[in-house]
A and B are shown apart, each in its own frame.
Chain A
């Protein structure tokens, strides 16, 4: 009973969130962060493709600068191939990790590659991104990715054990972000960080205040009994519909919805086809105002089945 009651109480939130995360998600995962202010919010995790792309860009940058350095060294003195190879791997080792650490430190969790692809590093626990975290996750990158790759390249043909182990290790490293909850690689797990997509959303106009200026909104009047029938979920479906483009697909849908709503709530007045949109707007505003008011009084309604839930709980 208790669980049922709790569910009924938080019904709106659940009903509102569940369908949306499912729709928005489409296989994508989110990271819920609780900042020091204590108000949690969701961040979309970066896709593995974006992360791989950023990594490739960063590798190109570091390799090109290493090659330039090597070229400068090669110009000063003659070196044979083996030495050059050893020096190259050394330069790469000592350019790579500092590059990532300094870039993430300077531009707040974004290396140039990440910046280009609109992703960044954050701390999972909501605290700031500390120097220690940045150093740990990038030192681990050296161990996770670069060392096995170098081992792979520098191994000789007669000893197959080392490259085999390197490949096995690389597979483990690649599997990790696919399996862990916040798509973290091993270094992320140890440092307590995750990579997220840059949040971006524009402020859409308010449907309620926009149409309040339309005088015809006064034309449609609804009774409380008519507005008891729907819940928050239906309201937001209607919101999506009203925010949609007015094209050949949506226009028939609008009139269809208007007709269904009229039938369901038993709205007796006839609505002319050109007034259907106004009718829906007016209904949206009235319904939203009503539901928000009910919510303030402690009667949150998740969807149209709220009555059944309510009687279940009590």
Chain B
């Protein structure tokens, strides 16, 4: 038996390919350190070919070679190359543009039922709390937490309530600023929780929506009692339209998840959840954006604009802008044309057949 003198098969296999592996390794070193864009044209062109060759070699080496070093090396080389070759190609700008152009509006329109349910629950909670507080003002304390009420209870005088709305008291700006930010972070938290908890069969989200609506309803009843209903409406409108919509949208995202858990349809529950998550996540990001916008409106616009008319106009027109974007964007303009073109084709076909 004389294998020792000549090079054995697996060594020859290695000798033939070694140079390519080392070249791939240097390309990977550069790509990992400085990014894919730094690669020279030739290197970028050969990267994928070299990766496929290396992964081929790994597959063969596992069959024919008993040299453990080569297999360990190739596994690591292939893993590194795989991570570079299959890196996400999306640019941040592209992702953001896609989200605004079609991602968010389409997800919004696909979740019509959930959105309707979320808004309906909030209105229901609001109306119920309004009616209850009007018949018996002590209900107020059941709905509104201490931190949010900040002294604006049934006992507060109309003047005190008015002052809060119009900041006429010196130093109230700070107090109100604190309250505003508190309200904002409270609502952010409600949005996060009602999104996440939607996964538990929608129930906690629905309760949160009812509760959130009831806070506003109870507050409304107190103000309406003192004849300040319109002023409160204006005060809430300027940021509330955006903010409450954001909460409803986050909840709708939670409802999507919950619906996938409750009624997975043809799919397995896990697959249905993964599918619904695509839209739900977009709704969550949309809600976060709207909350941010609401925060800005709250921080600046509400302090600057004090005429109730203007507050209402600004608040609702911004709401209309959101709706316009979410209902209008991402419609394929080509679709209508394509359909008419199809019709024309069909008509032509008919006339051809007829003649």
- Using a CB–CB cutoff of 8 Å, the interface residues on chain A facing chain B are 12-13, 16, 20, 33, 35-37, 39, 41-43, 79-80, 82-83, 86-87, 89-90, 93-94, 97, 102, 105-109, 120, 122, 127-132, 134-136, 139, 142-143, 147, 190, 192, 198-204, 206-209, 212, 217-218, 220-224, 227, 232, 235-236, 239, 243, 282, 285-286, 288-293, 295-296
Q: A90-B184, A220-B4 are in contact. Are A236 and B64 (CB under 8 A)?
A: no
B172-195 interface with A by 8 A CB criterion:
174, 177-178, 181-182, 184-185, 188-189, 192
Residues of B within 8 A of A12 (CB): 66
- B55 touching A106, Cβ below 8 Å: no
Picked from A43, A87, A236, the residue with its CB within 8 Å of the CB of B66 is A236
Interface size class of B (residues with CB under 8 A): 35 or more
Task: State A97–B35 Cα separation when bound (angstroms).
Answer: 23
Of the A-B pairs whose beta carbons lie under 8 Å apart in the complex, a sample of 16, sorted by A's number, is A13-B62, A35-B55, A37-B52, A41-B58, A90-B185, A90-B188, A97-B288, A129-B88, A131-B95, A206-B15, A208-B11, A209-B15, A212-B11, A221-B2, A292-B64, A293-B3
Complex contacts, B7 vs chain A, CB 8 Å: 208-209, 212
Ranked nearest first, the 3 interchain pairs of A and B with the lowest CB-CB distance are A86-B181, A289-B3, A201-B76
C-alpha spacing A39/B57, complex, angstroms:
10
Partner of B8, one of A80, A90, A289: A289
Residue ID in chain B nearest A211 by CB atoms:
B4
Report the Cα distance A16→B70, complex, angstroms. Answer: 13
Taken together as a complex, chains A and B put the C-alpha atoms of A252 and B300 apart, in Å, by 81
A94: B residues at CB distance < 8 A: 288, 292
- B35 CB contact (under 8 Å) in A79, A107, A142, A285: A107
Chain A residues, Cβ within 8 Å of B82: 33, 35, 41
- When C-beta atoms are compared, the residue in chain B nearest to A191 turns out to be B277
> Which residues of the partner chain A approach B6 to less than 8 Å between Cβ atoms?
212
Q: Do A236 and B68 touch (CB < 8 A)?
A: yes
Given A106-B92, A218-B4, A292-B10, A128 contacting B87 (CB threshold 8 A): yes
Contacts of B21 in A (CB 8 A): 203
> Chain B 273-312, CB within 8 Å of chain A: the 1/0 string?
0100110010011001000100100000000000000000
CB distance from A314 to the nearest CB of B (A): 23
Kindly list chain B residues whose C-beta atoms are within 8 Å of the C-beta of A120.
83
Contacts of B185 in A (CB 8 A): 86, 89-90
Nearest-neighbour CB distance to chain A for B299, whole angstroms, equals 9
Q: Let me know if B5 and A239 touch, CB within 8 A.
A: no
Instruction: Please indicate which of the listed interface residues A80, A206, A207, A290 has the most CB atoms of chain B within 10 Å of its own CB.
Output: A206
Alpha-carbon gap, A203 to B25, bound state (A): 10
Main secondary structure, interface of A, reads helix
On whether A199 and B80 interact (CB within 8 A), knowing A94-B288, A207-B67, the answer reads yes
Q: Choose from A129, A199, A217 the contact partner of B4 (Cβ within 8 Å).
A: A217
B73 within 8 A of A: yes
Show the binding face of B for A, using Cβ within 8 Å: 1-11, 14-15, 18, 21-22, 25, 35, 52, 55-56, 58-59, 62-70, 72-73, 75-80, 82-84, 86-90, 92, 95, 174, 177-178, 181-182, 184-185, 188-189, 192, 196, 274, 277-278, 281, 284-285, 288, 292, 295
Are B184's CB and A208's CB within 8 A?
Answer: no
Q: Which of chain A's residues has its CB closest to B60's CB?
A: A39
Q: Are B2 and A16 in contact (CB under 8 A)?
A: no
* Residue pair A292, B88 in contact (C-beta under 8 Å): no
* Nearest CB in chain B: distance from A300 CB, A: 10
Task: List B contacts of A86 (CB < 8 A).
Answer: 178, 181-182, 184-185
- Minimum CB–CB distance from B221 to chain A (whole Å) comes to 26
CA distance A236 to B68 in the complex (A): 7
User: How many angstroms from the CA of A25 to the CA of B292 in the assembled complex?
Assistant: 47
> What residues on A are CB-neighbors of B285 within 8 Å?
135, 139
Q: Is the CB of B83 within 8 A of A206?
A: no
Q: Is the CB of B59 within 8 A of A39?
A: yes
A105–B35 CA distance with the chains assembled, in angstroms: 12
Task: Give the residue of B35, B68, B78, B95 whose beta carbon is less than 8 angstroms from that of A41.
Answer: B78
Q: Which residue of B lies closest to A81 (CB)?
A: B178
Q: Which residues of A contact B181 (CB under 8 A)?
A: 82-83, 86-87, 90
Q: A41-B79, A232-B66 are in contact. Are A222 and B182 (CB under 8 A)?
A: no
A120 to B73, CA, bound (A): 20
In the docked arrangement, what's the CA distance between A202 and B76, Å? 9
Q: Does A204 contact B73, Cβ atoms closer than 8 Å? A: yes
Bound form: Cα–Cα A300–B89 in Å? 43
Residues in A with CB closer than 8 Å to B1 are 221-224, 227, 286, 290
Q: Give A231's nearest chain B residue, CB to CB.
A: B66
Question: Is B9 touching A292 in the complex (CB atoms < 8 A)?
Answer: yes
Residues of A within 8 A of B8 (CB): 208, 285, 288-289, 292
Contacts of B75 in A (CB 8 A): 41-42, 199, 201
Given contacts A35-B86, A108-B83, A135-B285, contact A286 B3 (CB under 8 A): yes
CB-nearest residue of chain B to A142: B192
CB pair B4 A93 closer than 8 Å: no
List residues of chain B with CB within 8 A of the CB of A208.
7-8, 10-11, 67
Measured between C-beta atoms, what is the minimum distance from A4 to chain B in Å?
22
Residues of A within 8 A of B9 (CB): 289, 292-293, 296
Q: Which of A42, A203, A204, A293 has the most CB of B within 10 A?
A: A203
Roughly how many angstroms separate A248 CA and B6 CA in the complex, as a whole number? 32
Contact in complex: B69, A243 (CB < 8 Å): yes
Write out the residue numbers on chain B whose beta carbons fall within 8 Å of the beta carbon of A80.
174, 178
Indicate whether A79 sits within 8 Å of B277 (C-beta atoms), given known contacts A105-B95, A206-B67: no
A89 to B189, CA, bound (A): 11
In the complex, A224→B18 CA distance in Å?
Answer: 30
> What's the Cα separation between A293 and B66 when bound, in Å?
10
Residue of A129, A209, A222 contacting most chain B CB atoms (<10 Å):
A209
Is B174 within 8 A of A79, CB to CB?
yes
